[in-house]
């Protein structure tokens, strides 16, 4: 019988890639979607014939219990979150509820539905749980690169909410013997990335300028440095973590760091443009507390899971710029549609 996976956040960037990957592996894929008759499904429109949707919201405990009862999953991937860091200052309480408490609600739904009690093992088959933890938990880093033993110092309400979800996942593993793991993923991008994140903002900005639709690109802190990889590679790691013999947490990243300035330079160059002519810095886009640099040490994932990234920074940037040039040339609306490579 096909293994069954339930994905929260299936309409997001990672949800769409993970759904494709699991379908390729022969899974029956279910996605939790919120909203009324009109869930935001643009990223998974092409998958709708193959995935099943179940209605639910990370704010609503009952809906999560019903979803787990209905789907009877072998694996649950909790990708749903308010994931845009600046929004977490504007809506800090909502971020705590969705990104933090949402993890508790999913874990409780699994615990209740599989009959797990304190110190005890579930009576029936064990549901495996993946939590989408984040390098934002490291925040103000003392040591670099960061690995599974690096301490946390989150710098935003988002980072704090993710840290709560991370420790809670560990706690449910220790308290109830659940197969519950966190992937501490560094930034990963793709042509399906939301337009508010810096890589996609840059690739869309470059495409608009190249096509004469805009004259400048406004950015915040150009000196921030991140470890950027390709989302398609990172969802493979999520799946591998749930196939391991033991539930453990893993850092996932490329181990290479670039600045926002280098990102802009590479993206404009990919379209044959000089970034310095078009990029304008805007103080209003700086954050109340910045994470200056993040760089992964993914050795544990390489050794224990056999996971390696396959797409380089330059390939990723070129892929995103090409995709946005195609999208805008074809008259697509980047706010409604994700461009599919």
203 lines the binding site for ligand GDR (CB under 6 A): no
* Ramachandran area for residue 311 (φ above 0: left; ψ -120 to 50: alpha; else beta): beta
Q: How far is CA 8 from CA 12, 30, 79, 312, 337, in A?
A: 9, 9, 5, 28, 20
Sites for ligand GDR among residues 31-50 (CB under 6 A): none
Residues 106-145 that bind ligand NDP (CB under 6 A): 132, 134
Residues contacting 52, CB < 8 A, separation 6+: 28, 29, 30, 31, 71
Report the residue number, 190 or 210, with the smaller CB distance to ligand NDP.
190
Q: Can residue 163 be called a binding residue for ligand NDP (CB under 6 A)?
A: no
Contact 145, 135 (CB under 8 A): no
Give the one residue of 4, 105, 128, 188 binding ligand NDP; rule: CB under 6 A. Answer: 188
163 is known as an active-site residue? yes
Q: Among 4, 5, 6, 14, which residue interacts with ligand NDP (rule: CB under 6 A)? A: 14
Q: Residue 217: which of 311, 321, 316, 288 has the closest Cα?
A: 321
The 3-state DSSP class for residue 9 equals coil
Q: Which of 5, 224, 257, 316 binds ligand GDR (CB under 6 A)?
A: 224
- Residue from the set 4, 5, 6, 11 that interacts with ligand NDP by CB under 6 A: 11
H/E element, 188: strand 188-189
- Beginning with the edge strand found earlier in the chain, give each strand of the sheet holding 128-134 in spatial order: 52-55, 28-33, 4-8, 75-78, 128-134, 180-185, 250-252
Using the rule CB under 6 A, is 75 a contact of ligand NDP? no
Whose CA is closest to 191, among 176, 202, 180?
A: 202
State which residue, 32 or 271, has the beta carbon closest to ligand NDP. 32
Which one from 8, 163, 169, 199 is the annotated catalytic residue? Answer: 163
Shortest Å distance, C-beta 70 to ligand GDR: 28
- What are the catalytic residues? 163
Binding site residues, ligand GDR, CB under 6 A: 83, 85, 134-136, 186-187, 196-198, 201, 219-221, 224, 226, 260, 285, 287, 290-291
Binding site residues, ligand NDP, CB under 6 A: 8-9, 11-15, 34-35, 40, 57-59, 79-83, 98, 132, 134, 185, 187-188, 194
């Amino acid at each position: 019988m096909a293994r069954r996976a339930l994905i929260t956040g299936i309409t997001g960037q990672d949800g769409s890639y993970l759904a494709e990957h699991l379908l390729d592996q022969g899974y029956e894929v279910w996605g939790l979607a919120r909203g009324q008759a009109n869930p935001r499904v643009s990223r998974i429109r092409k998958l709708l014939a193959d995935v099943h949707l179940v209605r639910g919201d990370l704010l609503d405990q009952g809906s999560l219990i019903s979803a787990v009862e209905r789907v009877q999953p072998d694996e649950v991937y909790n990708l749903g979150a308010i994931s845009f860091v600046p929004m977490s200052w504007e809506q800090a309480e909502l971020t705590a509820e969705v990104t933090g408490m949402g993890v508790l609600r999913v874990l409780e739904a699994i615990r209740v539905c599989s009959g797990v009690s304190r110190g005890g093992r579930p009576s029936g088959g064990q549901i495996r749980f993946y939590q989408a933890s984040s390098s934002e938990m490291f925040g103000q880093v003392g040591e670099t690169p960061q690995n599974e033993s690096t301490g946390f110092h989150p710098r935003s309400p988002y980072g704090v909410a993710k840290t709560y979800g991370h420790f809670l996942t560990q706690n449910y593993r220790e308290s109830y013997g659940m197969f519950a793991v966190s992937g501490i993923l560094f930034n990963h991008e793709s042509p399906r990335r939301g337009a508010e994140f810096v890589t996609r903002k840059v690739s869309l900005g470059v495409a608009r300028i190249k096509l004469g639709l805009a004259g400048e690109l406004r950015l915040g802190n150009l000196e921030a440095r991140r470890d950027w990889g390709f989302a398609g590679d990172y969802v493979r790691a999520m799946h591998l973590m749930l196939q391991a013999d033991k539930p453990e947490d893993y850092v996932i990243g490329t181990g290479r760091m670039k600045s926002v300035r280098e990102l802009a330079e590479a993206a404009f160059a990919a379209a044959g443009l000089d970034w310095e002519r078009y990029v304008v810095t805007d103080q209003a886009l700086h954050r109340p507390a910045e994470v200056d640099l993040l760089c992964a040490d993914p050795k544990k994932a390489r050794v224990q899971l056999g996971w390696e990234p396959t797409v380089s920074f330059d390939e990723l940037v070129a892929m995103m710029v090409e995709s946005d040039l195609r999208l805008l040339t074809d008259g697509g609306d980047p706010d409604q549609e994700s461009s599919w490579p």
